[in-house]
Structure 1
Amino acid sequence: MTNPVLWFEEVGRDDVETVGGKNASLGEMVSNLASRGVPVPPGFATTSDAYRRFVEFNGLDQEIERRLADYQDGKASLAETGSAIRGAFLAADWPEEIADAICGAYEELSKRMGQRSGDVAVRSSATAEDLPDASFAGQQETFLNIRGTRKLLAACRRCYASLFTDRAISYRETKGFDHLKVALSIGVQQMVRSDLAGAGVMFSIDPETGFDKLVVVDASWGLGETVVQGAVDPDAYQVFKPLLENHDLSPIIHKGRGSKLEKMIYAREGENPTRVVPTSRAEQLSFVLTDNEILKLARWAVEIESHYGCPMDMEWAKDGRTGEMFIVQARPETVQSQRDTGSFKQYRITEKGRQLTTGLAIGNKVVSAPVCLIRDPADIERFVEGSVLVTETTDPDWVPIMKRAAAVVTDRGGRTSHAAIVSRELGLPAIVGTGDATEVLHDEQDITVSCAEGEDGFVYEGDAEFEEETLNFADIPQTRTKVMLNLANPAAAMRWWQLPADGVGLARMEFVISNHVKVHPMALVEFDTLEDEAAKREIAKMTRGYESKPQYFVQQLARGLARIAATVYPNPVIVRMSDFKTNEYANLLGGSGFEPEEANPMIGFRGASRYYSPNYAPGFALECQAIRRLRDEMGFKNILVMIPFCRSTKEADKVLEVMAENGLNRGEDGLEVYVMCELPSNVVRAKAFAERFDGFSIGSNDLTQLTLGVDRDSEDLIELFDEQDPAVKWMISTVIASAHEAGAKVGLCGQAPSDHPEFADFLVECGIDSISVTPDSFMSVKQHVADAEAGKTPSD
């Protein structure tokens, strides 16, 4: 036979039939990407011919064929079949020439590593895996920290046997692969001492939404198996790819700290070469990677994706002895890259029960079904088809019942865990990393699993009512009037990346603060003198790892807004500076001591009046720092600024002066500043306001309220609140005409165009420049605007 062992540098991605998908990809990277700065640990692979020789030498092919025939005829269970075949492999002997070749290559690899008996990773690589349409995630085994020829040959034999694990047999049955035609190669690769540092998984595409401008990185302490297996809740990072080319920028748009309660390390004694131990409190509260390391990994991901020409799923590891990082695996991403991008299915919950638990949402669906709670894989047989599988975590042994589940909910795991990867591939909604699902849910309980509300998934009591709609992007007409989005929730923004919006006309900073930052800015500025001890303890916990308490606010706010800005980049994103009312500010962590009690907060200390007030100016300075970070350090020059509730031109001058003092100068480096048009004074003095601002954004709710003198929240006056009242329409038409005469742009952000087609017709007739709507209204408003521009009336 030909040489049963090939070094990685001798193979490439065209050699899948010879060394399997995993090893072919490792060889491809060693040969082609090392020169571009992507390091891969050295190693070698056994060939598929070596596997077939092993099978032939031990007469295993007849045993395999007989056992599988019994299984397919219903004479034996999956467990019995897999166990019998694996047992035959483990009892088999090595052909001398193959054993000698493996041991000889191992000795050579050890020399290259500078060790007498090097510690290696032994990985299975099937000839049908890591394909563009089938990942075979976790189907075969990997063995870490293997040292010495005896243990190496034992691990290799176990790799061969793992070709017939229950989950591998089941997966091949589902995908239609011939069991006897699939062969297995073994990769033997230098271990990266990530047990002394960290490791994880990385995607060059958002595995949830398919947003192709992201690199998503998961990281945990120790060997990477805990992340892959979903045994830990890892740190989660997101990097915006289009801005990575500029090394002066740091486009990290999300950093989420996972609990990381366990880590896998080398075992010092015993047969098992690795063991799982608890992490320290310091490790749990620290990020695994520095910003520079995150950016380095992201740039490698872009290089790898560029070379392969498709979105990639990668594993990385950091050596704790040298500080070096490596790519240890790369395979095509198999879910989002295969999805039809010409349409988008959205779900909208209209009525729901009590929230029972929450975690990370996988997929974009809503499912109602009874619970089937299984804690132990030994109890898999009692799973009820069509139920929601609730368990602590899954591994490949669970795949046979995951295929029969309506949804999956787990206690542990991140977005790159086994449960997440397989659920995506099976098209199942899943919620992972709840922490308590197995405690709060019980067998046969009716629940609704919602993965359609952003990156957080929710389990609701009972059967929720929901609507389903398919949006076909080919049906969206072109319009002269820009149709933009109203976005506030960074966690949900990327769901809408496929919509051909002209930008974001309203990004609500206060929503990002309340949901993403959660702390009153003044409580961070004056943390040392904060009297609320409970709030002080919570703030100290949340801000651990940041260079200062105020910097926590700046970085969290900047990254939250960056996730919105990335969705429509390079189109403009108009960020409205904070517009909380005093009672809303008081509800922020540590906020009660900084806010006055007002009888009518709606027309009280809000908007522009806060920004120059000594009582809030230091907080506004942090808001300005966040905008500067977004534009200057992260690179989102598409961020524009809007000032809310600006009562007079005198107040406008004060705000612009304070902004300039904080490094935000209108007109400098393309920065545009808008003003909300929500007060009659904004209309009456529109030309004067236009001298100070680049444009107006009509807030139709507040403008209606203050024009008609109607409390928009009053149930008794609800019939009087009418955005189409002639007085309100006069205000709108007047400000549009005045602004255009002064050379300023005008947009409107409100619900009226969504609810009333004739209102969109009125706005187009007035010559408005843009209309901003909620994402679920985008399609209908776009059509309304197109009809209006074509001269069609709503009745047509």
Structure 2
Amino acid sequence: MDPDEYTVFKPSMKDPALDPVIGVRIGSKRIKTVYASTGLTRTEGTPETERSQRVLNDAEIRTLAGWAAAVEKHYGCPMDLEWAKDGLTGELWILQARPETVQSRRHTATLRRCRLTTAPGAPLVDGTAVGEAIGRGLVVALEHPVDLDRFPSGGVLVTGITDPDWEPVMKRASAIVTDHGGRTSHAAIVSRELGVPAVVGAGDATHVLRDVREVTVSCAEGEHGHVYGGLLPYEESEEDLERLPTTRTHVMLNLADPSAAFRWWRLPADGVGLARMEFIVAHQIKVHPMALLHPERLDSHDRHLIERLTEGYPDQGSYFVDRLSHGIARIAASRWPAPVVVRTSDFKTNEYAKLLGGRPFEPDEANPMIGWRGASRYYDQGYREGFALECRALRRVRETMGLTNVVVMIPFCRTLGEADRVLDTMMEEGLVRGRKGLQVYVMAEIPANIILAQDFAERFDGFSIGSNDLTQLTLGIDRDSEVLARIFDEADPAVTRSIGTLVTRAHSVGRTVGLCGQRPSDDPAFTEFLVAAGVDSISVAPDSFATVK
């Protein structure tokens, strides 16, 4: 069974006025068991309308989570619980409780990392990732358990579903792939205990992989596991987190994928310096927000696809707010209570147009990189309603879910008048700078942001340098130009002098300055310059954190 999956944020459970449910994933639930007659059951296909519905509502999730916390407190250790819901009365019951023995016993001071060292190409199949490792080997597709001498040590087990009879074979496998199952399936539980990477609920893996000789199974890319053709090279490393130094300059993370956020919770980072909202929109929402609000402007094909995606929601705008708020909340919860800076959407018009239903709402621009993007969209009638949905999601995360560590950041803000209009628009949507501790930052990626730094500082609580765009607009180089790549350099004196000027001017009026970008990960000299200049924080990709720290 591919079940529903719900994630609850423990700290928000303490306040009955808050909604602690920060993640909902609706499983496929293709089959169900029903009563056939007294004492007998039968298995049958689940109707499409039931498959798309949640099994539990928020109140039931909160009840179960509260019981789980009480059981954990009673026994004094993390617990695995089994539960059931009575089919006649709707009552919830705890059936079994036992100590959780895998995640809770991991040595949190050591971070083991696996990373593919070559571009993998498109995966053959996808599913739910179990563990964070990578395995590879000869494909062994089986319908039933076999004698151990018939299963090669280090083979990749591919099957429909496992049960206890499979465990001797599973111990010999380098990785496991199953068609069915979720995080609580037999394959998932046993593979965690064995430390073997597994991709479960992969759909038609037994069919797709049957004629493939060798595969690489990667669970090192977040919550989604991927199976690639061939034996791909990868590397493993272990980092002793207790040996990392304490630094005056904060080292934060760049995070985009909510599904990967919990993978990095052990890193002693000072928060998230950049969470990209557009990643959540592109990968978890997939629809242009204006298309959700104005379906009458779409063709019948796009309208049908959107209706299927948003099935079960009271209105299509709620779908956007729900998905976006859950994505932001997962990132914010992974670093609580450290600050998590969430940048509002920064698609270019050509990127927005590629979203489902996006084409009717986006103009054709000769140079979208310096076109209708960032702050200029938020108060414009062409996107004002879409930005309102973004604000509703941010407000829900902070005020309804209780994740007040979220800081809002405005990208590509060209003028002081534009800053005022964006802040007024946010205020109309209930996001008021200073209210309930809300801080609002601005990206410093346009020379105007540096030239008028003290004026921007009157309107915002901090700056975050976008080194790519700042370099692009300072040197007049399209950052995507291959021809000019040789002279695109964030360490050019014109850029570094602008950074130094911004830090001095911002600090003179009590504002913080951070930098989010790849250059500090690749260039120790550039990191040294930032520290010497007095930058308050540097935000880097998680796999570069230890090196930069």
Q: 2:111 aligns with which of 324, 340, 344?
A: 344
Match of 1:362 in 2: 130
Contact kept? 1:579, 1:607, Cα under 8 Å: yes
The secondary structure found in structure 2 opposite 1:403 is helix
The higher radius of gyration belongs to 1
Structure 1 CA distance for aligned equivalents of residues 171 and 236 of structure 2: 23
The secondary structure found in structure 2 opposite 1:698 is strand
User: Is residue 674 from structure 1 mapped to residue 441 from structure 2 by the alignment?
Assistant: yes
Letter in 1 for 2:227: V
Deviations 1:594-632 (A, max 9, x none): 111111000000000000000000000000000000011
Structure 1 CA distance for aligned equivalents of residues 298 and 13 of structure 2: 43
Shift of 1:376: 2.9
Deviations 1:187-218 (A, max 9, x none): xxxxxxxxxxxxxxxxxxxxxxxxxxxxxxxx
Shift of 1:711: 1.4
Structure 1 CA distance for aligned equivalents of residues 7 and 149 of structure 2: 39
Match of 1:261 in 2: 30
Match of 2:51 in 1: 284
Match of 1:504 in 2: 272
Query: Gaps spanning 5+ residues in structure 1: where?
Result: 1-231, 783-796
TM-score normalized with structure 1 length: 0.68
Contact kept? 1:748, 1:772, Cα under 8 Å: yes
Q: 1:474 aligns with which of 228, 236, 242?
A: 242
User: Is residue 757 from structure 1 mapped to residue 534 from structure 2 by the alignment?
Assistant: no
Structure 1 CA distance for aligned equivalents of residues 149 and 326 of structure 2: 45
Change in Cα spacing, 1:726 to 1:498, as seen in structure 2 (3 Å) is same
The secondary structure found in structure 2 opposite 1:449 is strand
Match of 1:464 in 2: 232
Match of 2:306 in 1: 539
Letter in 2 for 1:287: R
Match of 2:20 in 1: 251
Structure 2 CA distance for aligned equivalents of residues 550 and 573 of structure 1: 25
The secondary structure found in structure 1 opposite 2:474 is helix
Match of 2:9 in 1: 240
The secondary structure found in structure 2 opposite 1:341 is coil
Contact kept? 2:347, 2:373, Cα under 8 Å: yes
Shift of 1:303: 0.7
Contact kept? 1:372, 1:443, Cα under 8 Å: no
Shift of 1:765: 1.1
Q: 1:688 aligns with which of 432, 436, 455?
A: 455
Contact kept? 2:212, 2:229, Cα under 8 Å: no
Q: 2:85 aligns with which of 297, 318, 321?
A: 318
Q: 2:503 aligns with which of 712, 722, 736?
A: 736
Letter in 2 for 1:562: A
Letter in 2 for 1:770: S
Match of 1:76 in 2: none
User: Is residue 592 from structure 1 mapped to residue 364 from structure 2 by the alignment?
Assistant: no
The secondary structure found in structure 1 opposite 2:14 is coil
Higher RCO by CA contacts (8 Å cutoff, separation 6 or greater): 2
Match of 1:721 in 2: 488
Contact kept? 1:353, 1:464, Cα under 8 Å: no
Structure 1 CA distance for aligned equivalents of residues 362 and 291 of structure 2: 11
User: Is residue 487 from structure 1 mapped to residue 219 from structure 2 by the alignment?
Assistant: no
User: Is residue 409 from structure 1 mapped to residue 196 from structure 2 by the alignment?
Assistant: no
Match of 1:628 in 2: 395
Structure 2 CA distance for aligned equivalents of residues 481 and 447 of structure 1: 43
List structure 1 segments (4+ residues) > 4 angstroms apart after TM superposition. 378-381
Structure 1 CA distance for aligned equivalents of residues 213 and 20 of structure 2: 44
Q: CA RMSD in A?
A: 1.3
Letter in 1 for 2:73: S
Deviations 1:106-138 (A, max 9, x none): xxxxxxxxxxxxxxxxxxxxxxxxxxxxxxxxx
Structure 2 CA distance for aligned equivalents of residues 687 and 696 of structure 1: 11
Q: 1:431 aligns with which of 199, 203, 212?
A: 199
Shift of 1:377: 3.7
Match of 1:701 in 2: 468
Contact kept? 2:77, 2:99, Cα under 8 Å: yes
Structure 2 CA distance for aligned equivalents of residues 338 and 640 of structure 1: 33
Q: 1:421 aligns with which of 177, 185, 189?
A: 189
Structure 2 CA distance for aligned equivalents of residues 616 and 714 of structure 1: 29
Contact kept? 2:146, 2:169, Cα under 8 Å: no
The secondary structure found in structure 2 opposite 1:275 is strand
Letter in 1 for 2:387: F
Structure 1 CA distance for aligned equivalents of residues 388 and 16 of structure 2: 27
Contact kept? 1:509, 1:575, Cα under 8 Å: yes
Structure 2 CA distance for aligned equivalents of residues 577 and 354 of structure 1: 29
Shift of 1:744: 1.1
Change in Cα spacing, 1:484 to 1:378, as seen in structure 2 (3 Å) is closer
448-457 vs 475-484, which deviates more? 475-484
Alignment of 1:561-572 (within 5 A): 561-572=328-339
The secondary structure found in structure 1 opposite 2:317 is helix
Deviations 1:565-606 (A, max 9, x none): 011100111110000000110111111111111110000000
Structure 1 CA distance for aligned equivalents of residues 308 and 196 of structure 2: 35
Structure 1 CA distance for aligned equivalents of residues 456 and 496 of structure 2: 20
Contact kept? 1:373, 1:443, Cα under 8 Å: no
Structure 2 CA distance for aligned equivalents of residues 355 and 661 of structure 1: 44
Match of 2:168 in 1: 400
Deviations 1:472-516 (A, max 9, x none): 111111111111111010011111000111111101001111111
Structure 2 CA distance for aligned equivalents of residues 472 and 523 of structure 1: 48
Deviations 1:661-698 (A, max 9, x none): 01011111100000000000001111110011001000
Deviations 1:396-446 (A, max 9, x none): 111111111111000000000000000111111000001010110025611
Q: 1:779 aligns with which of 542, 546, 549?
A: 546
The secondary structure found in structure 2 opposite 1:727 is helix
Match of 2:291 in 1: 523
Match of 1:608 in 2: 375
User: Is residue 660 from structure 1 mapped to residue 440 from structure 2 by the alignment?
Assistant: no
Letter in 2 for 1:602: M
Query: Gaps spanning 5+ residues in structure 2: where?
Result: none
Structure 1 CA distance for aligned equivalents of residues 219 and 111 of structure 2: 15
Letter in 2 for 1:239: V
Structure 2 CA distance for aligned equivalents of residues 253 and 516 of structure 1: 14
The secondary structure found in structure 2 opposite 1:322 is coil
Structure 2 CA distance for aligned equivalents of residues 281 and 509 of structure 1: 31
Structure 2 CA distance for aligned equivalents of residues 291 and 765 of structure 1: 49
Letter in 1 for 2:384: A
The secondary structure found in structure 1 opposite 2:266 is coil
Structure 2 CA distance for aligned equivalents of residues 680 and 471 of structure 1: 39
Letter in 1 for 2:235: E
User: Is residue 551 from structure 1 mapped to residue 318 from structure 2 by the alignment?
Assistant: yes
Structure 1 CA distance for aligned equivalents of residues 298 and 106 of structure 2: 53
Structure 2 CA distance for aligned equivalents of residues 698 and 423 of structure 1: 43
The secondary structure found in structure 2 opposite 1:703 is helix
Contact kept? 2:153, 2:172, Cα under 8 Å: yes
The secondary structure found in structure 2 opposite 1:675 is strand
Letter in 1 for 2:199: I
Structure 2 CA distance for aligned equivalents of residues 735 and 551 of structure 1: 40
Shift of 1:383: 2.5
Q: 2:348 aligns with which of 578, 581, 585?
A: 581
Change in Cα spacing, 1:444 to 1:281, as seen in structure 2 (3 Å) is closer
The secondary structure found in structure 2 opposite 1:524 is helix
The secondary structure found in structure 2 opposite 1:267 is strand
